[in-house]
Amino acid sequence: MTVRIGSGEFTYEPLAEWESLPEGMRLIECPGVAVDANDQLYVMTRNTENPVLVFNREGDLLRQFGKGIFSARTHGIVVAPDGSIFCVDDGTHTITKFTPEGELLMTIGTPNEPAKRWSGEPFNRPTHVAISAKTGDIFITDGYGNARVHKYSADGTHIKSWGEPGIDAGQFNLPHNVVIDDNELVYVAERENHRVQIFDVDGNTVGMWNNIFRPDGMAIGPDGNFYICELNLGDTDYPPGMGHRVSVLSPEGKLLARAGDLMEGEDPGKFIAPHGIAVDSHGDIYIGEVAFTIRGRHMDPPRELKSLKKLRRVA
């Protein structure tokens, strides 16, 4: 039986099997996904043997890169407006820029030399990155060991930082993801405060969306809407409907649809730990999950769970 999730014009068919991998290749899990202008999907894994994989829409593996550069704590990946690829590694405390073919162009941060925890200085376990189409400026959420957003120029020069630990406007409790729209508004998914904060490019607060359960993955689709992953608590004894789903919000922050199941799972239409998200020109959604971290490593024996999923838009 074909499974459908979502509602209205945001109705999707979860594809049980989509990607084709060489025999023996493991993902471990997929913290980040990103789509380029040609609908090629860049997948960040937590397998140091094949950290970045590139697929076409049909799921054929085109190339891979990044071996020897990343730790096992990769965290996010973004296709910049110019087509370059930015990756975030909270294990090495760095942000790296690549060509689409995988040539390393720039590293921001000193590998394996974190700033002092909660110092506000870059970086202590950064989480994500966004690049302005207008200026090329780079916005980085510095989230696990800091509570900051850092702004850099296109050449990697630090411009300014903002934020501190807290729950008030302009403060953060695990800034986990960041995107920037065509109006130069910066949206920060703040996981542990269950909200998205909106800033101008100078760090002034201009808005806030609440009532989003632990938002961690976030992308602006070609339709201008916001696609947000909501992560569960990681506990096996949590209430149903808390996380493990995807929410679609309008540019004004209005909830348009939700996709997922009340309970977690590997089956089509269910999620365990959605963490990274991307939307292609057809409206199809790609989701990378940290299912091993949240669930698989606690199993007896530990096992890899499905962590890369595609939702084909049908309405």
User: 3-state DSSP call for residue 297?
Assistant: helix
Neighbours of 58 (CB within 10 A): 8
Contact 33, 41 (CB under 8 A): yes
- 8-state DSSP, 291: H
C-alpha span between 178 and 36 (Å, rounded): 17
pTM for the structure as a whole: 0.97
Residue 241: the pLDDT is 82
C-alpha span between 208 and 271 (Å, rounded): 26
Residue 52: the pLDDT is 98
Place of tokens 């991307």: 278
C-alpha span between 256 and 252 (Å, rounded): 11
C-alpha span between 90 and 230 (Å, rounded): 20
Q: Say yes or no to pLDDT of 239 above 90.
A: no
Q: pLDDT (tens digit, 9 = 90+) per residue, 169-189?
A: 999 999 999 999 999 999 999
Q: Say yes or no to pLDDT of 250 above 80.
A: yes
C-alpha span between 101 and 54 (Å, rounded): 9
